Amino acid sequence: MPNKPPRICACGHRVAAGVRCPCERKADTERKARHDRQRPNSSARGYNGTWERECKAFLRKNRRCKRCGGAASLVDHITPHRGDTPLFWDRQNWQPLCTNCHSSAKQREERRSSTEDLK
Ligand SMILES: [Zn+2]
Ligand SMILES: [Zn+2]
């Protein structure tokens, strides 16, 4: 196997063949961190099977939308759980909502948090 000559990285560093330049390693780490942030956290992963099942069970007992009294079709968190697992699964923090009420509630909440961001 002939030795490969070192290469010159885009940043100007001279790097041995097959080795990541520090700037590339940094970029890798940042890319990975970005990826990890995008990956749902453990409570959001709870949105899969278990959540679906618990939602349906909850809605079987709570058929009416908490706000308008219409047919509830989803479970909403009264206090936003923001990744807080115990709060996420706390039935006291669940309320049955219809899609309309849910989307208007969420819109209000998003407006509230976006004004908080501006502070
Ligand atoms: Zn470099
Ligand atoms: Zn409703």
In this structure, is residue 64 part of a structural domain?
yes
Task: Tell me, rounded to whole angstroms, the distance of Cα 74 from its chain centroid.
Answer: 18
Q: Which residues surround the ion ligand 1 when the cut-off is CB under 5 Å?
A: 9, 11, 13, 21, 23
Position 4 in a domain:
no
For residues 33 and 3, which has the higher predicted lDDT (pLDDT)? Answer: 33
Helix (H, G, I), strand (E, B) or coil at 88: helix
Tell me whether residue 16 is in a domain: no
Distances (CA, A) of 36 to 22, 29, 31, 33, 96: 21, 10, 9, 5, 32
Q: Give the whole-angstrom CA distance, residue 2 versus residue 6.
A: 12
Provide the domain limits for residue 50.
42-118
The domain total for the chain is: 1
Distance CA 62, CA 105 (A): 18
Task: Tell me the CATH number at 58.
Answer: 3.40.1800
The answer to pTM > 0.75 is no
pLDDT tens for each residue of 17-48: 989 999 999 999 999 988 877 766 555 555 56
Q: How confident is the model at residue 107 (pLDDT cuts 50, 70, 90)?
A: confident
Condensed to tens digits (0 to 9), the pLDDT of residues 62-99 reads 999 999 999 999 999 999 999 899 999 999 999 999 99
Q: Is residue 14 part of a domain?
A: no
Reference 55, options 72, 42, 43; nearest CA is 72
Q: What separation in Å is there between the alpha carbon of 68 and the centre of ligand 2?
A: 4
Q: Which ligand is nearest to the CA of 10?
A: 1
Q: What angle do CA 92, 43, 34 make, to 5 degrees?
A: 145
Minimum-distance ligand to the CA of 8? 1
